[in-house]
Structure 1
Amino acid sequence: MYHRRKATEKPFLTPKQMQDRIRWAWEHYFWTEEDWARCGWGDEMSMVMGQGEVWVTRATEEKYLPDCCVPKFKQFSVGMVWSLITLEYKGPLIFFEGNLSEKGTINSDICIRTILPHIQAFSQLFQGQGREFIYMEDNSRIHTSQLTTSVMETLRIFQTWWPANSLDLNLIENA
């Protein structure tokens, strides 16, 4: 039986991007748990604080008790965060409140100064255990710029190629 439902939203994929995703899947199809354990999945995201609903359980007459209220402000606070996860470890949660570009985003310089030292620490941790570390992240400009790529090579941080518009393949995007 058919029902009217809201259409599912997902990133638009071109035929080439679909082929790249299939290629990526086949390249990783036979990976073992040990292979996946070498991977670190990282990403940044923007946050809007003070937006959304907060639910409380209360009686009708408790509506204005401090424990049943949330402060309301005229403006929302916007910030960015970054983190990394592996099969065994969680990276730090890095907040970028005042440490953003003029556009309010993370650029290559900020990535190199703030994020790469944490990725390098994970890479060194794995190397100290005699394991290779593979960093997985999306193809945003800050990750693929010549400057960022050059510094990552200098720091000996190995990245694998990533199919475009494939957020669903990154564990941290879905955490």
Structure 2
Amino acid sequence: MAATQRKELTEFQLHEVIAAYKEGFETLPSRSEASPITIKRYLHKNNIYGRVGAKKPFVNAANKMKRLKWAKQKVKWINEWENIIWSDESKFEVFGGDGKRYVWRTPQEKYNPKCLIPTFKSGQESVMIWGCFVKNKLGPLVKLEGKITANVYVKEILEKHLLPFINNLEDKENYIFQEDNAPIHTANIAKKWKEDNNIASLPWPAQSPDLNPIENLWDELERKVRNHRPLPKNQDDL
């Protein structure tokens, strides 16, 4: 018996596939007579694979403009970045599954807006930590417990952990402290503490955690947590 002949896509069907794959692979077979295997073979031939959708915080139009303005102001920065103390809080959640959603795209389309998975704040059981780093030097990692007010932020984080870290840096007066616009960071008591301790602050655009390189450290730490066996089942395990 002769082997089953592969059905090739017509030129029209090829254009249909390219136009439709961004809507999701599941819609493709209904838009052509080709089988899913044939469609996958064509997509792979054109370097289009199912990949984990890159996550990026939702940003409204006004904040997009502010982010762009901020970036343009610093487009010529090179050595200046080495003097930034990057900081952030991060939440490590207890939940099942890897939370991954897949999109069909080429390698160059990782950050194409149509291929991104918007992220929003969630409220699952979790552990909150604060950390910082500058250039190639890691700062303290602090577990945050209870309600974190501006007073707690100043006394338990800035006073106890950030200040000693800065004091141990050479040429400490040259460093600039980065933090986002969370209310505890922008409260008058926090501003006054930084002024009293001669700590300069880096202006920061809203909805911009993706601009902070400390996110790469959080990602690595989260991977280690997810790969740890047994998986954490509660806050104490985390």
TM-score when normalising by structure 1: 0.71
**Partner amino acid, structure 1, of 2:165:** F
- Structure-2 separation of matches of 1:78 and 1:7: 23
Q: What percent of counterpart residues are identical?
A: 28
Residue 134 of structure 2: aligned partner = 86
Q: Does 1:115 align with 2:160?
A: no
Q: Does 1:169 align with 2:214?
A: no
Q: Does 1:14 align with 2:60?
A: yes
Residue 27 of structure 1: aligned partner = 73
**Partner amino acid, structure 1, of 2:164:** A
- Structure-1 separation of matches of 2:70 and 2:167: 26
* Cα contact 1:123–1:132 (8 A) shared by 2: no
- Structure-1 separation of matches of 2:55 and 2:97: 22
**CA deviations over 1:7-42 (Å, ceiling 9, x no partner):** 87643333331221111111211111x211101111
- Structure-1 separation of matches of 2:55 and 2:81: 28
Matches within 5 A, 1:21-100: 21-32=67-78, 34-49=79-94, 51-52=95-96, 78-96=126-144, 99-100=145-146
**Partner amino acid, structure 2, of 1:52:** G
**CA deviations over 1:35-77 (Å, ceiling 9, x no partner):** 111011111122234x3369xxxxxxxxxxxxxxxxxxxxx96
Structure 1 unaligned spans of 5+: 55-75
* Cα contact 1:168–1:174 (8 A) shared by 2: no
| CA distance 1:18–1:53, shift in 2 (3 Å) | closer
**Higher relative contact order at CA 8 Å, sep ≥6: structure 1 or structure 2?**
1
- Structure-1 separation of matches of 2:68 and 2:163: 30
Match of 1:152 among 176, 179, 194: 194
* Cα contact 1:100–1:110 (8 A) shared by 2: no
- Structure-1 separation of matches of 2:136 and 2:76: 20
TM-score when normalising by structure 2: 0.54
Give the root-mean-square deviation of aligned CA atoms.
2.5
* Cα contact 1:40–1:133 (8 A) shared by 2: yes
More helix per residue: 1 or 2? 2
